[in-house]
Structure 1
Amino acid sequence: LQSWSSGTDLWVSQCNSTINHPGLLEQLRAEKFDAVFGESLNWCMGGIFHLAGIDKFALAESIAYKDGMYALTQVPTASSYQMFERNFEGFPNVVDLMAANSLFFLNSDQLADFSRPSVARVIDIGGIVVSNGHGKLNKEWSAILDLRPKTIFMSFGTFVRAWAMPEEYKETIRETARALPDVTFIWKYEKPEHNASQGIPNLVETTRSPFVRLCHPLRTGQHERGKLCRYKYTSKRETAAMLNNKPFSAREIFVRNMEFLAKHGPLRQLYHYGRHLNFIQYYLLDVAFCVIGFLLVVLSVSFLASWKLILCVKRMVNVKPK
């Protein structure tokens, strides 16, 4: 929570500095962009695009779909920011500006993701940064991979620094490496000068690697990716073959959609009516209330009728013959 709080403070400070930078908005207006795109993580750009007069824009995500994106795909939200209102009187709501995107690109693929509801403006471009071909490894990496039959790459991502781990954690990794002498462990360690792998021949420290990685999820979309590996990748070869033989590449899909947006955007036709529905309408609570009300009436009438019938039967039983 502390890291998120400090990150938010930095983001607000950066956004304030950007929108108040002398001449920046004028320069952006003068560029007369055909179309632009940016990552939805940066909510500041919605206000910048508005001030620069750019209405043809798309959003992109470096991860797959997550719940927090609903606001950007036309589902109402209560989130808002005040930086622009302090500097520009009568400024529109930032969420509404970001929701005005024409296209929403996701780093996901339908063949390798959970099934989910979607809309026309959401486009999957998973694997866009994956190379179509692989060159030969240099001598250093070839020599490392040839050391043993198997190789494992260990990385704790961007936020967790291996060098800052408690010493007992590091020792656990060393013990694991010692227990598997036929496996080469490549450990992403940010400070090689610590000599963390000293004395362990199959433990190699590095700050870079071209290998496919086995990851342990820590935050945000990583948990979903971890579960997805267990759920979807039971037949890895078949899935890989399908992904490699798709009729259109992710790059082609992205480029052609951006060209279409630049020529015909903004694509208001892709908006769905859900953005105009309030909370009760969107979740069909009015229909639910009607159904529940009808059921309550039926149950009440049935209960009263049953009660009257019981009373009538009791009277008949209690009547003594003359």
Structure 2
Amino acid sequence: MDYGTGPYPLGVRENGRIMDGQATVFIDGEAGTTGLGIRQRLHALPVAVRSIDPERRKDADARREMMESADLVVLCLPDAASREAASMVAAMEAAGGPAPRLLDASTAFRVDPDWAYGFPEMGADQAAAIATARRVSNPGCYPTGAIALLRPLVRAGLLAPDFPVTINAVSGYSGGGRTMIEAHEREGGPAFELYGLGLDHKHVPEITRYAGLSRTPLFVPSVGHFPQGMIVSIPLHLDMLAAPATGADLRAVLADVYAGSDRVGVAEAGTTLDADALAGTDLMELRVHANDARRQAVLTARLDNLGKGASGAAIQNIALMLGLASPA
């Protein structure tokens, strides 16, 4: 899908320096799960990828040099390190020297109004906002599914912003970092785990803001004994909606919002749903499982936690920011 050109011609920096006809990308933190996924997927884009000497990856001067030489820097770092890196780039801009655009994969800036939220399908103008932004925050995996389901219903007036939303979700263990991956891949690893039971998961502010909610949702994530995949599910009592609606009405709203997307689609509901069916893809499927006689429905979003939930979303945003055709 071709999203057109970004704010600068391909290969031309804001300060006018031409980079051999190709944009250059530096992944700060490429050794992590998300960074590795992004680097692998970047082969599908006509960009030059620059890597830092592993022995100097924590050297501030070396990182600054890499940033100054890049058109776009992808931050795959813990929140504190992402904030530090963003401050380095802000200092470059203030000094009037070469400075890259930023795509951050942490949670540090996801509700920061100075950063564009990197979910292109979220609204009619969101892809354009990402394409022109100097700073973009890549969405979280769970919020991608939750926002995709909730935001259209809130904006359509079917779901009140103060609705007591409950979100249950299960993800593959690959998104939990090295410790979780090792725990699940050793013999006798856990079959299923609930977590975030302090009910203050770091994704809650992101979901609340971009879904358009005024009441904080109750969010309970979990991890299953499979590498990749995710299901986000949201139960609804139809009699509690802001306007009378059937399951078909909810589905029609979602289908209308995502009709033009090549990544997000509304699928037919069934009686079972496998969490890992979209593993290895950058797709997301939305469903409305309804029993109108009982006035109940369950909304589900199925995606790959490392695809549309992480690295795949990053590649989509990188393509938008650099004015490139996004890989299918």
TM-score normalised to structure 2 length: 0.28
Higher strand share: 2
Structure with the greater alpha carbon radius of gyration:
1
| Structure in which a larger fraction of residues adopt helix | 1
Give the TM-score, by structure 1 length: 0.28
